[in-house]
Structure 1
Amino acid sequence: MIRWRWGTVVEARREWRGSLELEVTVESRRAEDPATVRALAYPRLVGTPEPGDRVLLNLNALALGLGTGGYALVVAIPDRLPEDADVPGHVVKARYTPLQAIVLAADEEASPLRGALAGATDLEAMPVVVADLHSALPAVVAGALAARPDARIAYVMTDGGALPAWFSRTLDALRPLLAGTVTTGQAFGGDLESTNVHSGLLAARHGLRADLAVVTQGPGNLGTGTSWGFSGVAAGEAVNAVAALGGRPIAAPRISDADPRPRHRGVSHHSVTAFGRVALAPADLVMPSDLSEPLSGEVREALAALCPPHTLVEVPSRDLLAALTALPTKLSTMGRGLAEDEAYFLSAAAAGRHAATAG
């Protein structure tokens, strides 16, 4: 299940919050093993590798040719273990794996937010944008801030993709624009930790004092090419959670005219399944009102089929291009940037604009 390799750190490369990228030579066990790899270490889990350190690597991502990241992962620095980290919490994430980590949940007894969250049961009609892919996050934020520059926006990260929030360079770049990040379920590394999406949404509202929230999985998307075999199914469950807590669910469907795969052209089959089959609570289903034809007609028809229970909302988006361009992070989805897939990013931005102006 795991391709274990020994490696030696050559040099540290770039660094962002919670992550350190390294160049590492590999002690080969197979002919196809690379001589050197880009490796990623999470210092809070394994310590900080230094040039000359011998490290234990997991090469699974490289062997599979995974598009997101494509890193070897540093599992340990066996000859220089980090000091014990005394955490006041008792919530375990990545449970019963070799790297299970103890975190302080926002609502547990030792948390300074315990008083605010212990009795919290309602989102007080807070708008919550739910999207499938992590790449939608910066576009949603751009759209929301273009409409309401003073909005406090919280990001609620589910555990369908990367588990460490630290993996996301996008999230690191967005930090000045966010009230904070809540990592839910098995995901960890946010400003606040929660046990599930429901408690994560409450932490966003009552702990981070958010005016609106965005829910997506972390970077990476598990998909098998089948109707139900994809991690974005959880987007529909998030809509239900928002409604159950008295929030206002706003669904941001995945829209594209650039994806080479027919099942993701127009409205992705992931969105049709998540919002059409899994989401039982009604949501505002947002599409840009100014998509070009024939895409606009195809999208409108596909989304209208999901209404009711949802309500189709058309929002102008083309004037949001400047806000998308001004973001402090590069926009990218499945290797395509803003110029290659305008429809995708404008659709997410339209959902953010709607959330910021929903009353």
Structure 2
Amino acid sequence: MLELRRASVTAADGAWLQTDLGPAWSDPALHPPAQVGDDVVVNVQARGLGLGSGGYDVVAVNLTRGLEAADRSGAHVMKLNYTPLQHAVHAADGDPLAARGPVAVFGAHGQLPALAWAFGQAAPGARLGYVQTAGGALPGRLSRTAGELREAGLLEVHVTAGPAYGGELEAITTAGGLCAALERCDAVACGPGPGILGSGTALGHGGLAALDSAHAALALGLPTLVVARMSSADPRQRHRGLSHHTRTVLEMLLAPVIVALPEGQSAPDDRHDWRVASGALDGYPWPLRSMGRDDPLFFAAAAAAGRVLASGR
């Protein structure tokens, strides 16, 4: 059952609000900008459960100014279909016959900055697209990372595919999203939004979305690279070294893929095409912190993937 509560907005900073119940987020793809005094209905369940992504409530409807429909002329495809938040979008799935370029598939949103930065360092002027899939947060506007990388010129376009929504382009499927991005870009990074899902089981985690994305890229005949999730600081043994998230994807893939490794790491099998990228993090401008802890290996693996992706254009 939904846990919905009525609240009043006491402060507003763009999509980020403060209500008389606590902090909240109002999706700009679904709601008009809120103002102080607005009467809103918020979903409080995640914050009540204390989830990692549950530091705030999510606005379900703005009763003060959110009841008028936007102009959706020409849009006939529904995202979040058959849910109370279904809304029409203009679909932009691309042409599979025209798709050319390599695809890097990642399983954790935190890998995207190092991947995109390293790609830009290795291939100045090349255009990288981001296709957001299921596996983490579905709203495209929730990714501050994607917005900041767009502003820095490290991402050319942000496509939301499948159940994800709110990007600059909307695709019904991951395959269609890859093709749409490659119509505008030289290469694509494909993976979930922030707040990856996880139950602690072998198959019950959002990182497994990389399996479907890699199969889509392979089926399109595109050079396909899986970004290795690695860690030297995660307290969970299953994520130390090469994470079980990546191992599971590589074991379940129906065909070999390219996998990048940073210096000092060795290939655990001979089925896939493992490639070592030297100096992957040289000059990296941002903190090497993941999930609140210093973890250079996590970023080095993602940066290695960005450099290898650039070499495959």
Confirm or deny a common fold (TM above 0.5): yes
Change (3 A) 1:94 1:247: same
Q: Deviations over 1:174-200 (max 9, x none)?
A: 113211011100111111111111101
- Of 50, 55, 71, which aligns to 1:65? 50
Which residue of structure 1 lines up, in the alignment, with residue 62 of structure 2?
77
Query: 2:306 matched to 1:352?
Result: yes
| Cα RMSD for the two superposed structures | 1.6
SS of the residue corresponding to residue 254 of structure 2 reads: coil
Cα distance in 2 between the residues matched to 1:48 and 1:23: 13
| Residues 129 and 214 in structure 1, CA contact (< 8 A), matched pair in contact too | yes
Which residue of structure 2 lines up, in the alignment, with residue 151 of structure 1?
126
Cα distance in 2 between the residues matched to 1:94 and 1:226: 26
Cα distance in 2 between the residues matched to 1:56 and 1:275: 43
Which residue of structure 2 lines up, in the alignment, with residue 45 of structure 1?
30
Query: 2:289 matched to 1:335?
Result: no
Cα distance in 2 between the residues matched to 1:345 and 1:317: 12
Give the residue type in structure 1 aligned to 2:69.
D
Structure 1 unmatched runs, 5+: 27-36, 108-116
Query: 2:154 matched to 1:180?
Result: no
Q: Which has the larger Rg? A: 1
What are the residue-to-residue correspondences of 1:1-359 with 2, within 5 Å? 1-13=1-13, 15=14, 20-26=15-21, 37-68=22-53, 70-87=55-72, 88-107=74-93, 117=94, 119-124=95-100, 126-176=101-151, 177-206=154-183, 209-277=184-252, 279-289=253-263, 291=264, 296=265, 300=266, 303-305=267-269, 307-308=270-271, 310-318=272-280, 320-322=281-283, 324-325=284-285, 332-336=289-293, 340-358=294-312
Q: Deviations over 1:271-299 (max 9, x none)?
A: 0001221x21221111112x4xxxx3xxx
Cα distance in 2 between the residues matched to 1:165 and 1:342: 27
| Residues 141 and 166 in structure 2, CA contact (< 8 A), matched pair in contact too | yes
Cα distance in 1 between the residues matched to 2:172 and 2:179: 11
1:237: how far off? 1.7
| Residues 158 and 215 in structure 1, CA contact (< 8 A), matched pair in contact too | yes
Change (3 A) 1:332 1:104: farther
1:123: how far off? 2.6
Cα distance in 2 between the residues matched to 1:243 and 1:273: 17
| Residues 260 and 274 in structure 2, CA contact (< 8 A), matched pair in contact too | yes
Structure 2 unmatched runs, 5+: none
Change (3 A) 1:234 1:276: same
1:95: how far off? 1.3
Give the residue type in structure 2 aligned to 1:99.
L
| Residues 10 and 51 in structure 1, CA contact (< 8 A), matched pair in contact too | yes
| Residues 208 and 249 in structure 2, CA contact (< 8 A), matched pair in contact too | yes
| Residues 106 and 192 in structure 1, CA contact (< 8 A), matched pair in contact too | yes
Q: Deviations over 1:15-68 (max 9, x none)?
A: 3xxxx1011003xxxxxxxxxx11000233122221111111100110121223
1:201: how far off? 0.6
SS of the residue corresponding to residue 290 of structure 2 reads: coil
| Residues 23 and 38 in structure 1, CA contact (< 8 A), matched pair in contact too | yes
1:82: how far off? 4.4
1:216: how far off? 0.9
1:249: how far off? 0.4
Task: Looking at secondary structure, tell me which structure has more helix per residue.
Answer: 1
1:120: how far off? 3.5
Give the residue type in structure 2 aligned to 1:80.
R
Cα distance in 1 between the residues matched to 2:91 and 2:117: 29
| Residues 122 and 245 in structure 1, CA contact (< 8 A), matched pair in contact too | no
Change (3 A) 1:3 1:321: farther
4+ residue runs over 4 A deviation: none
| Residues 252 and 285 in structure 1, CA contact (< 8 A), matched pair in contact too | yes
| Residues 138 and 331 in structure 1, CA contact (< 8 A), matched pair in contact too | no
Change (3 A) 1:332 1:164: farther
Cα distance in 1 between the residues matched to 2:304 and 2:259: 11
SS of the residue corresponding to residue 11 of structure 1 reads: strand
Give the residue type in structure 2 aligned to 1:262.
Q
> What count of residue pairs does the alignment treat as equivalent?
310
